[in-house]
Amino acid sequence: MEERILMKGNEALAEAAIQAGCIRFFGYPITPQTEVAAYMSKRLPKIGGTYLQAESEVAAVNMLQGAGAAGARAMTSSSSPGISLKTEGISYMAGADIPGLIINVQRGGPGLGGIQPSQADYWQATKAPGHGDLHIIVFAPSSVQEMVDLVENAFDLSDEYRIPAMILADGLLGQMMEPVTIKKSEGGKKLPEKKWAAKGHGHKRAHNIINSLYLKAADLERVINERFERYKELEVKHTRCERYMTDDADVVVVAYGATGRIAKAAVKAAREQGVKAGLFRPITLWPFPKQDLKDIAKSAKAFLTVEMSMGQMVDDVKLAIDCKRPVDFFGHTGGIVPTPQEVLDKILKLAGGER
Amino acid sequence: MGDLNSILAGFGGQGILFMGKVIATAGLLEGKEVSWLPSYGPEMRGGTANCSVCISSGDICSPLVTSPNVLIAMNLPSFTKFIDTVVPGGTVIVDSTLISKKVERNDVNVCYIPASALAEQSGLKGLANIILIGKLLELTGFCEYLSIKKTIEKVVPPKKQHLIQKNMEAIDIGYNYKG
């Protein structure tokens, strides 16, 4: 049994990536994720890895693209404004079927915004992580331990499907310390060979070509259709969520990430007052766990989405349940973290029939 | 005590974040759930530095403490900022060397301890934060006394082992202080 240690979210995430076999990291500092890069800069040179501080976020994501194309398990990390810069590279990776992990420790936006925790990049992560017809796999941990556990999962799925993956965290998760257990892999994790990778082969096989440019429309349509088959399979096989007391709940709170745990406190408090509240916490934001939510809508009377944004997930909740129940919203934006009491007050209002 | 939901606050450089780490680690060593969340950003430079520390026997839902049951204040701006957020019946520990103001509420338990002066007099300059932990331990019993000793041994970096004894002295000064 590994020791339970106290670790900062950003550092735990970095160590988890190393244990998952990622020894190539390309970064650029930005609050509140800088500790990811700082940790990697200390650890990777000692274990024969590559830590590279790029000249910009754009350069870092293109290094990720290159390392991924060569078959390496690689990662980049940033926070909201930096992720906007990376979207070009993410689109190219998606278009060339290059796996890789992108970390977004969100802060308030738009623009330079602020540096406090936020979830205002939900739309960006789930709807338009870059131009073109594309999706990336998006995970939203709600504790430092879950962040650690999801890192390996994200890498494995990204490799298996050749689709870039993202961990969508926030400043709260990145900056806080919590007890965490990190599975150690002695001598580094053994990764399956990537036969498609573009790396030296001494003329022993045909060239592997990795490219996102298709000038013939019919060719581009064909590769996109093929890619969407993989998206479809992900939607069927790889959605994840946590359901807490939803079976008999009248009011179901839907919240992810750090907000998910705050909402849980409110749900517990509501139950103590005899109000039948429950929590639905999506762990994958794309693919969104639609079916699970749809099942809950059979018995729930109302939904309440809680986010650190102006309500970016609300539409996904409405679509998942075919608008069969009212979906209300409560949140703060700009870096303000909702309190359990505020969420509880809203739950009590909804339970009392007020909207 | 039950769950600890604390805010520790002062200037950057007083060891506020380290104080939080010691408290959280003590909870960890007793097998409890803990969380430590610093304020981060420009306010740390010259203004108030603070952190939220929770210890609980169950899950910690909100690591950001907005209604603390313990406040430790090491400067006036922090004292002013947080004193009204303490829940009734909560504990407030004030470094009275640095804060001359008195608590005007009468629904909280207040302890004034000249931690910075005590540290200075005892040759433990810079360990006022640890003296305050000693006082917190005596007032609330947030962990066992022995756990604090183990904690100090754990959190003091290997290169600074000579400071373990000084940290323990600081704990005892706070623990035994009768104001």
Q: In sequence order, what are the residues at sequence separation of 6 or more whose Cβ sits closer than 8 angstroms to the Cβ of residue A282?
A: A140, A239, A240, A241, A254, A256, A288, A289, A313
List the domain boundaries for chain B: 4-176
Which of B34, B40, B66 comes nearest A175 by C-beta? Answer: B40
Inter-residue contact A17 to A148 (CB < 8 Å)? no
Q: In sequence order, what are the residues at sequence separation of 6 or more whose Cβ sits closer than 8 angstroms to the Cβ of residue A54?
A: A26, A27, A28, A60, A63
Spatial distance between the Cα atoms of A191 and A204, rounded to a whole number of angstroms: 22
Distances, alpha carbon B179 to alpha carbons B37, B95, B100, B114, B141, in Å: 31, 12, 15, 9, 18
User: Is B59 in Cβ contact with A176 (below 8 Å)?
Assistant: no
- Domains within chain A, CATH numbers bracketed: 5-187+228-233 (3.40.50.970), 241-351 (3.40.50.920)
Is some CB atom of chain B closer than 8 A to the CB atom of A265? yes
Contact residues, chain A, for B34 at CB < 8 Å: 6, 177-179
Spatial distance between the Cα atoms of A299 and A190, rounded to a whole number of angstroms: 45
The DSSP secondary-structure symbol of A222 reads H
Spatial distance between the Cα atoms of B9 and B22, rounded to a whole number of angstroms: 14
Q: Which helix (H) or strand (E) holds A327?
A: strand A327-331
The DSSP secondary-structure symbol of B74 reads -
Inter-residue contact A188 to A44 (CB < 8 Å)? no
Spatial distance between the Cα atoms of A21 and B101, rounded to a whole number of angstroms: 55
Is some CB atom of chain B closer than 8 A to the CB atom of A171? yes
Low-confidence ranges of chain A (pLDDT < 70): 1, 354-355
Number of A:B CB contacts under 8 A? 58
> Residue B43 has what pLDDT?
55
Is some CB atom of chain B closer than 8 A to the CB atom of A6? yes
User: Is B37 in Cβ contact with A172 (below 8 Å)?
Assistant: yes
Which of A5, A172, A265 comes nearest B61 by C-beta? Answer: A265
Distance from CA of A9 to the nearest CA of B (A): 10
The class that CATH gives domain B4-176 is: alpha beta
Is some CB atom of chain A closer than 8 A to the CB atom of B35? yes
Distance from CA of A187 to the nearest CA of B (A): 26
Is some CB atom of chain A closer than 8 A to the CB atom of B132? no
Low-confidence ranges of chain B (pLDDT < 70): 41-47
Is some CB atom of chain B closer than 8 A to the CB atom of A149? no
pLDDT per residue as tens digits for the range A254-306: 999 999 999 999 999 999 999 999 999 999 999 999 999 999 999 999 999 99
Q: In sequence order, what are the residues at sequence separation of 6 or more whose Cβ sits closer than 8 angstroms to the Cβ of residue A298?
A: none
pLDDT per residue as tens digits for the range B53-103: 999 999 999 999 999 999 999 999 999 999 999 999 999 999 999 999 999
E strand residue ranges, B14-130: 33-38, 48-56, 70-73, 91-95, 109-113
Looking at residue B61, its amino acid is C
> Strand A302-307 relative to strand A327-331: parallel, antiparallel, unpaired?
parallel
> Residue A305 has what pLDDT?
98
Closest chain B residue by Cα to residue A268:
B61
Is some CB atom of chain A closer than 8 A to the CB atom of B148? no
Distance from CA of A141 to the nearest CA of B (A): 13
